[in-house]
Amino acid sequence: MDSIQLADALSKTPVTAFRAFETIGSTNDEALAWADQGAADFSLVISDEQTKGRGRFDRRWVTRPGSSLAFSLILNPSPVEIEHLSLFAPLCGLAVHDAVKVFFNLEPEIKWPNDILIERKKCCGILVEANWTDGIPNAVVLGIGINITQDSVPPSDGQLFSAACLEEFTHCPVDRFSVLQHVLNNIQKWRAELGTSRFFEHWTNHLAFKGEQVMIVKSEKQSIIGVEKGIDQHGNLVLLLDNNEEKAFEVGDVHLRPLNTSNNSGGNHA
């Protein structure tokens, strides 16, 4: 990683301190440990390669050298922000969405709760974790992985879902650190709007599969089909079921799948 370019990009963001690695297990693990030692708000961990990158639902997240943006941002949430803890992941989704849209003039969509899709293929995954003391989160770690070059996309063999990278759509080399700079500045912007009607409006406006039939999968044996209506004021996904009942689903152990498409959105997990 070019440390001069990185430092230059970060100097145009609210980042207060950073640790940059050529290779690491997981930037989230490093960030959680640093947060435990009292890292300042808006401290950043970034690595060119991750050997034990983690995704949601205990999946692996592969980060090959030079192929991706893999970073974790430490925030020390205020008491008001703690009330909106579940919105930190969608906050990252909004920040990445806006960076990709504005910087590359692409039309990304946010797959609830927070994956970023372009042409229905996943280009970015988000894993938010927290350090807790006496039941209170004293640090939140926003882990973001963005596929940049083709090398970040795993072979499709045996993959349940499609993944893609930014360069597949920009058709020209992407400057990783400019993307990073935009995402970090957008995180600061949307953080100030956490839980506001503007936040939910923006999220809903760019939601993937809105008005389409989707399936919420709770387990292998339990799934519910309905038309995706939008998001409620708690960040839950609202479906209109066949019996005309509206049902809200909490972020947690549920998976969202589009129906009638072979092009499900997945990650770069192996």
- Interaction site with ligand BTN (CB under 6 A): 26-28, 50, 53-56, 59, 61, 70-72, 115, 125-127, 143-145, 267
Task: Please identify, using beta-carbon distances, which residue of 125 and 235 lies nearer to ligand BTN.
Answer: 125
Q: Are 100 and 176 in contact (CB under 8 A)?
A: no
Least CB distance from residue 120 to ligand BTN, whole Å? Answer: 15
Task: Please identify, using beta-carbon distances, which residue of 47 and 236 lies nearer to ligand BTN.
Answer: 47
CA proximity to 121, closest of 91, 155, 93, 153: 153
Gyration radius of the chain's alpha carbons: 18
Least CB distance from residue 71 to ligand BTN, whole Å? Answer: 6
Least CB distance from residue 57 to ligand BTN, whole Å? Answer: 7
Task: Please identify, using beta-carbon distances, which residue of 128 and 226 lies nearer to ligand BTN.
Answer: 128
Q: Are 250 and 204 in contact (CB under 8 A)?
A: no
Task: Please identify, using beta-carbon distances, which residue of 63 and 236 lies nearer to ligand BTN.
Answer: 63
Least CB distance from residue 263 to ligand BTN, whole Å? Answer: 17
Least CB distance from residue 183 to ligand BTN, whole Å? Answer: 12
In angstroms, rounded to a whole number, what is the distance separating the alpha carbons of residues 194 and 192?
6
Least CB distance from residue 47 to ligand BTN, whole Å? Answer: 8
Task: Please identify, using beta-carbon distances, which residue of 72 and 186 lies nearer to ligand BTN.
Answer: 72
Least CB distance from residue 54 to ligand BTN, whole Å? Answer: 4
In angstroms, rounded to a whole number, what is the distance separating the alpha carbons of residues 227 and 215?
9
Task: Please identify, using beta-carbon distances, which residue of 55 and 137 lies nearer to ligand BTN.
Answer: 55
Task: Please identify, using beta-carbon distances, which residue of 127 and 239 lies nearer to ligand BTN.
Answer: 127
In angstroms, rounded to a whole number, what is the distance separating the alpha carbons of residues 182 and 202?
17
